[in-house]
Amino acid sequence: MSIIELLASLSLLLVPLFFYLTRNSRSRAPSKSNPKSYPLIGSSVAIFANRNRTTQWTSDLIQSSPTATVVLRRLLNDSRVLTGNPANVQHILKTKFCDYEKGSKTRQTLFDFLGNGIFNIDGDSWKFQRQVSSHEFNTKSLRKFVETVVDTEVSQRLIPILSTAAANKTVLDLQDILQRFAFDNICKIAFGHDPAYLLPDLPEAEFAKTFDDAAKISSERVATLFPFLWKIKRFLNIGSEKRLKEACSDLREFARNIIKEKKQELNNKPSLETVDLLSRFLSSGHSDEDFVTDIVISFILAGRDTTSAALTWYFWLLSQNPEIEMEILREIKDKSESPVYDEVKDMVYTHASLCESMRLYPPVPIDGKVALRDDVLPDGTVINKGMRVSYHPYAMGRAEMLWGQDREEFKPDRWLQRAGDGVSNDGKWSFVGRDPYSYPVFQAGPRICLGKDMAFLQMKRVVAGILRRFKVVPAAEDGVEPVFVSFATSKMEGGFPVREVLSDDEKPACVKSSLSGYEDEKLLISQHLKVVERKLHQFASHGGLPFMANSDYSEEAAHGGLNAGESLDHEGSQTAEQTGEDDSSMQGDSPVSNGSLPAHGMSSASFGKHHVVATNESNHLISYGGKSSKQHKEIDLVVLENEISDLNGRMEALEFDRNFLEEHAFNSLQSGKEGPQFGAFIYIYI
Ligand code: HEM
């Protein structure tokens, strides 16, 4: 055969193959935002390069797509669609529910870990599990959940551990503590079993490690570019697959022990006083041990990793937004010490702040289905049978189209309305939810999370328990941002080391009164910072500071102070218009915020009014005439820099003095100078 004949035959073979392999390229999804794709290998190079930050990378791709949808082409025509478009989300999760399933490929991939549990199953088996489980989430069960299980875990385990850490000034991994808390909770409520992982000596959490390994390796299987590799490793029982096998076997052993215990209990006492989820399944005629084991594992996954992830990021955000923390504390202090079910339900601002936190850090950042037949999404993306279509709560929570220009700010107010707005007329906040297709943090449609209400009740009770007594302070240096990672559910990479500091109410009276002056000063500095922030914003918009020539610092401070004061108003008298005004002042990318001032070193350590006078003088300086516009701009900028540097120095000095005072006060209390008071304090809180 001549070379020409050989080439001709090859092209006869390759051309159809090429068209077959690239047939998905004809999808009408916007191509500009899709990463560069090549025949056969698709975008594998980019996917591989971003494998350690898939969530963030795909979120960026979605943000830059005009329809908020991207198609990721992988090896050999394995295309996956990722969407942040609410219309598409509604389409796959509700309108065409029957055409999008977990799918057999995903089921097979996750089978070793989740078996036939509710997260990994479709059809009748899913319906049955959902139906039986749903009894566990009715109002009566939830009321019992808050008033017995959660309360006990908070007051008898969580608080004592945090109190000891606060007294000894030890650093705790809050992520680990919250996972232990959630694990004890879910086992107690779902299986009537107390694993007692949240104990003062923090027992070796071998189970947690095992569970994390199983979840991580399983989600790596789903994400991998080379699925055949895990299959070979599994066959040979080597590497990560060997570990997965061991982990799954340990998990199953754990679940089987719980089931054995429960069966014995049921045999001894056929009518139990309290009916938990496991008893329900065992009494429903399903005695197949593997099936019940799968259910136990799925519920541990649902209950342990979601609320703990949500709360970990929540406490991080609060540490960066003290004024919001104060507003939450105000709401909490309105309720009783151990808020009962109705009070927890009524914690509207706390509820809004949790929704806002999960908007930015969703516990399940990406989730998906598989198309059972060819389809076209509402935005025109062509879907082929067997294609994986994922929705992306992480990207959606950061989409300007859905949340506006201030989407990166942590603002619980966006979920709230005040009296006089037609929604509530008792002067309180009322919660305004978003449609679940724009905010699919709990999924949406027929498979919406069953534990949503339970999760909120639990999280609000934990927040109330902790914030009433402590301030959670990240142990990492200021400015160090934790890293968001995700293996099925999200995590903070490396944990969340914190120092628990007693809240002011919990401190002995002498320390409290000395510290209140520092708090006032801190508030004043924050207000000044808001003013500077607004000035910088104006500088960016107008190339100068138009207001400075006509107004003086006091007016600005008063204005800034009003906004900050609004959030501190105990009577809750802030109006919707005022809130709106505050919003607009914060819109756009603010180059300076309270937590991210550039360090200019220490300047004045003097506090209060002196500083106002000095700044006043600086402002007058720039209103002197005779300068060119360019010179004006330069002077404006110098003035702003000086202000920032000065405020920064004052904040550092303040923190230093405050720490010194706390240290000194605690030391003198410990050395007995104020023995009786400290004794009482220890007695009550430790
Ligand atoms: C902040 C906390 C939580 C979040 C963000 C959350 C989120 C989700 C999401 C995204 C799904 C869909 C998963 C999928 O099908 O792929 C889901 C399903 C589910 N969740 Fe939650 N969840 C939370 C807490 C809980 C809790 C505490 C429970 C209680 C045990 C729970 C029980 C379930 C169950 C049983 C399903 C399966 C529903 C079904 O497939 O019909 N969740 N959740």
The per-residue DSSP string of 473-536 comes to EESSPTTPPPPEEEESEEEETT--EEEEEE-GGGS-HHHHHHHHHHHHHHHHHHHHHHHHHHHH
Q: Which atom of ligand 1 is nearest to the CA of 189?
A: 30
CB atoms within 10 A of CB 245: 15
- Higher local confidence (pLDDT), 318 or 537: 318
Q: Which residues pair with 486 in a beta bridge?
A: 490
- Evaluate if residue 286 carries a pLDDT over 70: no
Instruction: Please answer whether residues 82 and 72 qualify as being in contact, where contact means their C-beta atoms are separated by less than 8 angstroms.
Output: yes
> Which residues contact residue 421 at a Cβ distance below 8 angstroms, ignoring those fewer than 6 apart?
576
Which residue's CA is the nearest one to ligand 1's atom 31?
451
pLDDT of amino acid 16: 45
Residue to substitute in 306, 311, 487 for testing ligand 1 pocket (most ligand atoms within 8 angstroms of CB): 306
Angle (nearest 5°) at CA 434 between 431 and 439: 130
pLDDT of amino acid 574: 30
Task: Tell whether 101 and 130 lie within a shared domain.
Answer: no
pLDDT of amino acid 181: 95
- Evaluate if residue 310 carries a pLDDT over 80: yes
Residue that has been written with the tokens 């062509």 in this structure: 382
Average model confidence (pLDDT) for the chain? 75
> Which tokens is 624 given?
């002197």
454 C-beta closer than 6 A to ligand 1:
yes
Across 31-40, 393-402, 447-456, 631-640, least confident range: 631-640
pLDDT of amino acid 490: 92
In angstroms, the CA 163 to CA 470 distance is 8
Using DSSP's 3-state secondary structure scheme, residue 141 falls into helix
pLDDT of amino acid 193: 87
Instruction: Please answer whether residues 539 and 636 qualify as being in contact, where contact means their C-beta atoms are separated by less than 8 angstroms.
Output: yes
Angle (nearest 5°) at CA 658 between 652 and 660: 105
Q: Which one-letter amino acid corresponds to residue 481? A: E
- Evaluate if residue 548 carries a pLDDT over 50: no
Would residue 654 count as lying in a domain?
yes
Task: Tell whether 612 and 556 lie within a shared domain.
Answer: yes
Q: Which residues pair with 80 in a beta bridge?
A: 72, 388
Measure 79 CA to ligand 1 centroid, in angstroms: 27
455 C-beta closer than 6 A to ligand 1:
yes
30 C-beta closer than 6 A to ligand 1:
no
Q: Which of 40, 74, 107 lies at the terminal end of a domain, its last residue?
A: 107
Question: Mean of the pLDDT values across residues 482-508?
Answer: 81
Across 119-128, 239-248, 341-350, least confident range: 341-350
> Which residues contact residue 113 at a Cβ distance below 8 angstroms, ignoring those fewer than 6 apart?
214, 215, 218, 244, 248, 251, 297
CA atoms within 13 A on the CB side of 351: 19
182 C-beta closer than 6 A to ligand 1:
no
- Higher local confidence (pLDDT), 468 or 612: 468
In angstroms, the CA 537 to CA 541 distance is 6
Backbone angles phi, psi at 487, to 5 degrees: -130, 95
Give residue-wise pLDDT tens across range 89-134. 999 999 999 999 998 889 999 999 999 999 999 999 999 989 888 8
- Identify the band that residue 674 occupies on the pLDDT scale cut at 50, 70 and 90: very low
Which residue's CA is the nearest one to ligand 1's atom 36?
449
394 C-beta closer than 6 A to ligand 1:
no
Task: Tell whether 138 and 188 lie within a shared domain.
Answer: yes
- Identify the band that residue 606 occupies on the pLDDT scale cut at 50, 70 and 90: very low
Give the residue among 387, 380, 462 at the shortest CA–CA distance from 151: 462
Give residue-wise pLDDT tens across range 26-56. 444 445 667 777 777 888 888 888 888 999 9
CB atoms within 10 A of CB 362: 29
Angle (nearest 5°) at CA 353 between 347 and 359: 135
Crossing angle of helices 576-586 and 553-568, rounded to 10°: 120
Would residue 683 count as lying in a domain?
no
| 3-class SS letters over 11-56 | HHHHHHHHHHHCHHHHCCCCCCCCCCCECCCECHHHHHHCHHHHHH
Q: How many domains does the chain have?
A: 3
> Which residues contact residue 371 at a Cβ distance below 8 angstroms, ignoring those fewer than 6 apart?
99, 100, 383, 384, 385, 386, 387, 388, 389
Give the residue among 564, 91, 634 at the shortest CA–CA distance from 369: 91
Residue 207 to residues 214, 621, 640, Cα–Cα distance (Å): 11, 66, 54
Give the residue among 492, 420, 407 at the shortest CA–CA distance from 179: 492
397 C-beta closer than 6 A to ligand 1:
no
Task: Tell whether 86 and 228 lie within a shared domain.
Answer: no
118 C-beta closer than 6 A to ligand 1:
yes
Question: Mean of the pLDDT values across residues 247-261?
Answer: 91
> Which tokens is 276 given?
């938990």
Measure 452 CA to ligand 1 centroid, in angstroms: 7
% of residues, the chain, pLDDT over 90: 41
Would residue 578 count as lying in a domain?
no
Where is mean pLDDT largest: 108-117, 125-134, 354-363, 555-564?
354-363
Backbone angles phi, psi at 227, to 5 degrees: -60, -25
302 C-beta closer than 6 A to ligand 1:
yes
Task: Tell whether 98 and 138 lie within a shared domain.
Answer: no
Which residue's CA is the nearest one to ligand 1's atom 15?
119
Backbone angles phi, psi at 423, to 5 degrees: -95, -40
Which residue's CA is the nearest one to ligand 1's atom 43?
449
Instruction: Please answer whether residues 56 and 362 qualify as being in contact, where contact means their C-beta atoms are separated by less than 8 angstroms.
Output: no
Task: Tell whether 217 and 91 lie within a shared domain.
Answer: no
Task: Tell whether 636 and 657 lie within a shared domain.
Answer: yes
Task: Tell whether 457 and 528 lie within a shared domain.
Answer: no
Task: Tell whether 329 and 315 lie within a shared domain.
Answer: yes
- Evaluate if residue 558 carries a pLDDT over 80: no
- Higher local confidence (pLDDT), 421 or 208: 208
Would residue 582 count as lying in a domain?
no
- Identify the band that residue 274 occupies on the pLDDT scale cut at 50, 70 and 90: low
- Higher local confidence (pLDDT), 553 or 290: 290
DSSP conformation class of 196:
-
- Evaluate if residue 488 carries a pLDDT over 90: no
CB atoms within 10 A of CB 575: 13
Task: Tell whether 227 and 311 lie within a shared domain.
Answer: yes
Give residue-wise pLDDT tens across range 366-412. 999 999 999 999 999 999 999 999 999 999 999 999 999 999 999 99
Would residue 526 count as lying in a domain?
yes
450 C-beta closer than 6 A to ligand 1:
yes
Across 169-173, 445-449, 504-508, least confident range: 504-508
Give residue-wise pLDDT tens across range 566-598. 222 222 333 333 323 333 322 332 322 222 222
303 C-beta closer than 6 A to ligand 1:
yes
Which residue's CA is the nearest one to ligand 1's atom 32?
451
Residue to substitute in 107, 186, 449 for testing ligand 1 pocket (most ligand atoms within 8 angstroms of CB): 449
Instruction: Please answer whether residues 179 and 453 qualify as being in contact, where contact means their C-beta atoms are separated by less than 8 angstroms.
Output: no
Task: Tell whether 443 and 529 lie within a shared domain.
Answer: no
* Residue 233, domain CATH: 1.10.630.10
Give the residue among 365, 491, 351 at the shortest CA–CA distance from 434: 351
Residue 204 to residues 180, 244, 296, 444, Cα–Cα distance (Å): 11, 20, 22, 37
- Identify the band that residue 649 occupies on the pLDDT scale cut at 50, 70 and 90: confident
> Which residues contact residue 395 at a Cβ distance below 8 angstroms, ignoring those fewer than 6 apart?
58, 59, 62, 63, 68, 82, 84
Task: Tell whether 243 and 272 lie within a shared domain.
Answer: yes
Q: Which of 506, 532, 555 lies at the terminal end of a domain, its last residue?
A: 506
Binding-site residues sit at: 449
Binding-site residues for heme sit at: 449
- Evaluate if residue 20 carries a pLDDT over 70: no
- Identify the band that residue 660 occupies on the pLDDT scale cut at 50, 70 and 90: low
Measure 565 CA to ligand 1 centroid, in angstroms: 39
Residue 99, class by beta-carbon neighbours within 10 Å (0-12 exposed, 13-18 middle, 19+ buried)?
middle
pLDDT of amino acid 266: 81
Cα Rg for the chain, rounded, in angstroms? 29
> Which tokens is 99 given?
């055409």
- Identify the band that residue 559 occupies on the pLDDT scale cut at 50, 70 and 90: very low
Measure 448 CA to ligand 1 centroid, in angstroms: 7
Which secondary-structure segment (H or E) carries 168?
helix 159-168
Question: Mean of the pLDDT values across residues 274-295?
Answer: 81
Measure 125 CA to ligand 1 centroid, in angstroms: 17
In angstroms, the CA 345 to CA 431 distance is 11
In angstroms, the CA 469 to CA 163 distance is 9
pLDDT of amino acid 534: 67
Would residue 672 count as lying in a domain?
no
Where is mean pLDDT largest: 193-197, 272-276, 514-518, 616-620?
193-197
Measure 344 CA to ligand 1 centroid, in angstroms: 20
Measure 442 CA to ligand 1 centroid, in angstroms: 6
Would residue 116 count as lying in a domain?
no
665 C-beta closer than 6 A to ligand 1:
no
Which residue's CA is the nearest one to ligand 1's atom 1?
307
Q: Which of 465, 483, 506 lies at the terminal end of a domain, its last residue?
A: 506
pTM (predicted TM-score):
0.72
545 C-beta closer than 6 A to ligand 1:
no
Instruction: Please answer whether residues 198 and 184 qualify as being in contact, where contact means their C-beta atoms are separated by less than 8 angstroms.
Output: yes
660 lies in which domain range? 510-568+589-665
β-strand 171-173 against 497-502: which pairing, if any? antiparallel
Residue that has been written with the tokens 């700010």 in this structure: 409
Question: Mean of the pLDDT values across residues 231-248?
Answer: 95
Q: Which atom of ligand 1 is nearest to the CA of 458?
A: 27
560 C-beta closer than 6 A to ligand 1:
no
- Evaluate if residue 136 carries a pLDDT over 90: no
% of residues, the chain, pLDDT over 70: 68
